[in-house]
A and B are shown apart, each in its own frame.
Chain A
Amino acid sequence: MLTHLPILQVIVPLLAAPLCIFLRRPPLVWLFTLIVSSLAFVISILLLQQVMASGTIVYELGGWDAPWGIEYRIDALNAFLLLIITAISTVVLLAAQTSISKEIPKEKHMLFYTLYLLSLTGMLGIVATGDAFNVFVFLEISSLSAYALIALGKDRRALWASFQYLIMGTIGATFILIGIGLMYQMTGTLNMEDLSTRLPEVAQTRTVFVSFAFVIVGICLKLALFPLHLWLPNAYTYAPSIVTAFFAATATKVAIYLLIRFSFSVFGLSFSFTTLPLQILFMVLGLSGIFVASIAAIYQTNIKTLFAYSSIAQIGYMIVGFSVSTVTGLTATLLHVFNHALMKGALFLALGAVMYRIGSVQLSQFQGLGRQMPLTMAAIVIGGLSLIGVPLTVGFVSKWYLLMALIEQGWWPVAVLIVLGSLLAVVYVWRLVEIAYFKPQLVGKESVKEAPLSFLIPIWILVMANIYFGIDTRLSVQVAQAAAQSLFGVSP
């Protein structure tokens, strides 16, 4: 069975989704989903071990060899992403039943879990596959389920946010489809590995240039890279808390993965970064994303929106690391992908707990919460510190690598801008901390209890991970470095 791990990774949650329909009873479905997700997590761990031990795993679907059939190709990069996605999904699910009991009507619970699993499947499928068109199919699975999940939010604005996301997402997917079509037309193949060997022959044609542009723009729409980020804040704000926690920690990461995969593996480093002014372009977009989004975050009164903007800013960091296009830069990006998943998972889950107790995440509602929900608020503080990049949290590790990468290249001004950007994080995190700890509770507001254990356990698992991986960085750094090196063709 071990040889089938790559496909099981995707198939297990996929087949579990329709089974949910048969189970019907919500607690049962929740348990089932949780088990399936943990199973996927175990599979991803095994995969990562295999990859680190013996290199890339190739799995031919239907028994047809590569350019004719579809193949799954798992290297360190994929395995790393698979691990992040399944881990976050499992931890977030721990809190799901409690959280949605207040946010989603009971008769929809079963459908919620089905969609959740489908969304998970979609993301895993995107990451695992080695076929360009297969990416599109699974992208749509994850997107369609995402639209439906976001629209489950209580507020009517969730519907509008979901619709906006749908339009932007579909345009993005269609752009990717056009790009893949052009690529296919010039090479006659859809397999990524095959593409990477055949593309250099035609690299100088205008068609390949345009196909690259379309794929990248399409991915950036999904990625919510500034200035294509407009759909994200609303979508994250009005979606049910669990959905926000899950997506904020994983969805944009998958898009980053695609960006890396297409520009490094498929088109190849020399094409992506020498033919086009991509380096400068992404650097500028990443930096402006950091600043615009962080400043926007400072002015938000809804905490979910605040952290949604912060997500856009954090994407900026990843893009800056990506644009450096060195092993260190890419390591920084991958580390930040991992670390940001931990931070945002913890933060949005904690907000979910606040939502569960108070029913709102407006800034003013946080008054005095530091005393009433000490554990939840402590989690938010630690998550926030990690976001700022304080030592001993994961945020510091990725920031350190990013700075190293920039200084290696001698890009001092950018390094300075990066640290200035993290100051903005101090501002928006501190607004929240001040209100939560140093403002007395609102008069006449009934007191609130600490969040239930079903919330606290997953939140603190993530918080502990934030600290643990900020101190013991061996695992994350080793894997990220291996992935980055394999993309650059350096043997580790």
Chain B
Amino acid sequence: MLIGLYNYWIVVVLMMIGFYIVIAHGNLIKKIVGLTIFQTSVFIFYISMAKVDGGTAPILADGIERYSNPLPHVLILTAIVVGIATTALALALTVRIKEAYGSIEEEHIQEKDNQAC
């Protein structure tokens, strides 16, 4: 059982590292990096479940009987695009936040908001 599932566990650990960075860190860039890591790990998870023992890349060729499952690949292609779109938007927001608040630390931003109230 250990052999059969260990790589999923590694993926879970990777995911959680990303997730931890998102929620524990106050720096916005770090948060975004964390988000990227989180998402990339989910991609790894999807791709690893597509793998078949003895299979090859899903491009049809003569003499090959077994292919890896193409569907997760397709899904993850889409998900990667979604990921970069989110990152781009998040970075744009970060730049604007820096201009408006002069800081990209969650703490400072919230302090300034509270003062304004």
Q: Are these two chains actual partners, yes or no?
A: yes
Chain A residues in the interface with B (C-beta under 8 A): 133, 136-137, 140, 144, 147-148, 151, 156-157, 159-160, 162-163, 166-167, 170-171, 173-174, 177-178, 181, 184-185, 190
User: Would you list the 10 A-B pairs with minimal beta carbon distance, nearest first?
Assistant: A156-B100, A140-B82, A163-B93, A159-B97, A159-B96, A185-B49, A181-B46, A170-B86, A166-B90, A160-B109
Q: Mark B13-29, 1 if CB is under 8 A from A, else 0.
A: 00100010010000010
Least Cβ–Cβ distance between B8 and chain A, in angstroms: 10
Given contacts A167-B90, A171-B38, A190-B75, 6 further A-B contacts (CB under 8 A): A133-B75, A144-B85, A156-B100, A159-B100, A163-B28, A177-B79
| B42/A157 in contact, CB under 8 A | no
CB-CB under 8 A from B100, the residues of chain A are 156, 159
| A177/B86 in contact, CB under 8 A | no
CB-CB under 8 A from B45, the residues of chain A are 178, 181
Partner of A160, one of B19, B75, B78, B97: B97
| A167/B94 in contact, CB under 8 A | no
| CA distance in complex: A133, B46 (Å) | 13
Q: Provide a sorted-by-A list of 25 A–B residue pairs whose CB atoms are within 8 angstroms.
A: A133-B78, A137-B78, A140-B82, A140-B85, A144-B85, A147-B89, A147-B93, A151-B96, A156-B100, A156-B101, A157-B113, A159-B97, A159-B100, A160-B97, A160-B109, A163-B28, A166-B90, A166-B93, A167-B22, A170-B35, A177-B79, A178-B42, A181-B49, A185-B49, A190-B71
| CA distance in complex: A136, B39 (Å) | 13
Given contacts A160-B113, A171-B22, contact A140 B86 (CB under 8 A): yes
CB-CB under 8 A from B85, the residues of chain A are 140, 144
Partner of A167, one of B31, B78, B96, B101: B31
Least Cβ–Cβ distance between A17 and chain B, in angstroms: 15
| Residues 58-91 of B contacting A (Cβ, < 8 Å) | 71-72, 75, 78-79, 82, 85-86, 89-90
| CA distance in complex: A140, B46 (Å) | 18
| B113/A163 in contact, CB under 8 A | no
CB-CB under 8 A from B42, the residues of chain A are 174, 177-178, 181
Given contacts A177-B79, A181-B49, contact A148 B109 (CB under 8 A): no
| CA distance in complex: A163, B28 (Å) | 9
A148, A166, A167, A184 interface centre (most CB from chain B within 10 Å): A167
CB-CB under 8 A from A184, the residues of chain B are 49, 72
| CA distance in complex: A177, B39 (Å) | 9
Chain A's interface: helix, strand, loop or mixed, by majority? helix
CB-CB under 8 A from B28, the residues of chain A are 163
Partner of A166, one of B86, B96, B101, B116: B86
CB-CB under 8 A from A140, the residues of chain B are 82, 85-86
| A163/B38 in contact, CB under 8 A | no
Tier of interface size on chain B? 20 to 34
| B22/A137 in contact, CB under 8 A | no
| CA distance in complex: A251, B19 (Å) | 25
CB-CB under 8 A from A177, the residues of chain B are 42, 79
| CA distance in complex: A133, B71 (Å) | 11
| CA distance in complex: A177, B22 (Å) | 17
Task: Determine the residue in chain B with the shortest Cβ distance to A169.
Answer: B86
CB-CB under 8 A from B96, the residues of chain A are 151, 159
Task: Determine the residue in chain A with the shortest Cβ distance to B28.
Answer: A163
| CA distance in complex: A167, B90 (Å) | 8
| CA distance in complex: A184, B96 (Å) | 39
Least Cβ–Cβ distance between A301 and chain B, in angstroms: 9
| CA distance in complex: A61, B30 (Å) | 40
| B19/A171 in contact, CB under 8 A | yes
CB-CB under 8 A from A151, the residues of chain B are 93, 96
CB-CB under 8 A from B39, the residues of chain A are 170, 174
A140, A148, A170, A177 interface centre (most CB from chain B within 10 Å): A170
CB-CB under 8 A from A137, the residues of chain B are 78, 82
CB-CB under 8 A from B15, the residues of chain A are 178
CB-CB under 8 A from A162, the residues of chain B are 93
| A174/B97 in contact, CB under 8 A | no
| B35/A167 in contact, CB under 8 A | yes
Task: Determine the residue in chain A with the shortest Cβ distance to B34.
Answer: A167
| A166/B109 in contact, CB under 8 A | no
Least Cβ–Cβ distance between B34 and chain A, in angstroms: 9
Least Cβ–Cβ distance between B29 and chain A, in angstroms: 12
| B31/A148 in contact, CB under 8 A | no
CB-CB under 8 A from A148, the residues of chain B are 89
Task: Determine the residue in chain B with the shortest Cβ distance to A181.
Answer: B46
Partner of B38, one of A136, A147, A174, A190: A174
